[in-house]
Amino acid sequence: MRLQLHIWRQKNSREPGRLVPYAVQADEHMSFLEMLDVLNAELIRKGEDPIAFDHDCREGICGACSLVIDGVPHGPRAATTTCQIHMREFPDGAEITIEPWRAYAFPVVKDLMVDRSALDRIIAAGGYVSVRTGAAPDANAIPIGKNTAEKAFDYAACIGCGACVAACPNASAMLFVGAKVSHLALLPQGQVERTARASRMIAAMDAESFGGCSNHGECEAVCPKSISLDAIAKLNREFMRAVATGES
């Protein structure tokens, strides 16, 4: 299949970028990233600068891949990362625009690659449980009900890709923060630091200049792990809990 691509090229975070047209011959069984590999091989052959894009596992679990494909973060398939999109999703001769995640908090490193360490700093502010190191604790030493365990697991499924930020009209990180806060607030291990965690992570999120949540729901629609907006409702409850207990 022949494709007409419009790809965002940008040298670094300081220089302005622009959309550059490329034609590429691809196979419908290729993944989206393999199609870009083919284009890059061609660019290298011609002595041109290959297109920089993030990827690692290429099996939908690491959260590195991050392309806005025709205006939708992670492309046309629901609950699917960019690396799991295949070219059969597109008609022959398709024109596809590819842009990076766009947010003040995600500066472009090069081309389609952005710096998402803002999300790491939010996690470092409280997205963990403090445990004493030593021998591994006994499995099942702390019983957790099945429903709670499953709910916590659903929130824990977040891979930190940042598509929620990319999709949000306000570039808000509420779904990401909500997923982590909810995950740990549901589990007994998370109780000790529960209130401090919520207020610290919210403060860290604000300090990174992410926007606020307007409840549009764009994040949930593009999240490759189908994290529910319930995470945001829960984050709001955890915030009010922190204010009420005076621990904010």
Partner 1 sequence: MPVVPDPKPANSSERPQPLGSTIGRKVVMALSGAVLVGFALAHMAGHLKVYAGRDDYNAYAAFLQGLGGLKWLVRFGLLAALVVHVRSGLTLAARNKGARPHAYAVKRAQRSTPYGRTMLLSGLVFVAFLIYHLAHFTLGWVHPQYFALKDALGRTDVYGNFVRSFQSPIITGTYVIATAAVSMHVAHAASSVLRTLGISSGALRRSCERVGPALGVLLFVGFASVPVACLLDLVKP
Among positions 179, 186, 202, 204, the unique one binding ligand SF4 when judged by CB under 6 A: 179
Report the nearest approach of ligand SF4 to the CB of residue 160 (Å): 5
State how far the alpha carbon of 107 is from the alpha carbons of 17, 77, 103, 118, 121, in Å. 12, 26, 7, 10, 15
Among positions 104, 120, 142, 148, the unique one binding partner 1 when judged by CB under 8 A: 104
* Cβ closest to partner 1, residue 63 vs residue 211: 211
Q: Is 83 among the residues that bind ligand FES (CB under 6 A)?
A: yes
| CA-derived radius of gyration, the chain | 20
Report the nearest approach of ligand SF4 to the CB of residue 51 (Å): 22
Q: Is 6 among the residues that bind partner 1 (CB under 8 A)?
A: yes
On whether the CB atoms of residues 208 and 118 are closer than 8 A, the answer is yes
CA 152 – CA 146 distance, rounded (Å):
10
Place of tokens 């009209």: 169
Report which DSSP code applies to 136: P
On whether the CB atoms of residues 213 and 163 are closer than 8 A, the answer is no
On whether the CB atoms of residues 206 and 142 are closer than 8 A, the answer is no
Among positions 7, 176, 187, 199, the unique one binding ligand SF4 when judged by CB under 6 A: 176
Report the nearest approach of ligand SF4 to the CB of residue 87 (Å): 23
Q: Is 160 among the residues that bind ligand SF4 (CB under 6 A)?
A: yes
On whether the CB atoms of residues 5 and 21 are closer than 8 A, the answer is yes
Among positions 54, 99, 111, 154, the unique one binding partner 1 when judged by CB under 8 A: 99
99 beta partners: 68
CB contact burial 152-172 (16+ within 10 A = b; e otherwise):
bebbbebbbbbbbbbbbeebb
Report the nearest approach of ligand FES to the CB of residue 19 (Å): 23
Q: Is 64 among the residues that bind ligand FES (CB under 6 A)?
A: yes
Q: Which of residues 50-89 bind partner 1 (CB under 8 A)?
A: 68, 70-72
Total number of residues shown for the chain? 248
Q: Is 61 among the residues that bind ligand FES (CB under 6 A)?
A: yes
Q: Which residues bind ligand SF4 (CB under 6 A)?
A: 158-164, 175-176, 179, 223-225, 227
Q: Which residues bind partner 1 (CB under 8 A)?
A: 6, 8, 19, 68, 70-72, 97, 99, 102-105, 125-126, 167, 169-172, 199-200, 202-207, 209-218, 220-222, 228-230, 232-237, 239-240, 242-243, 248
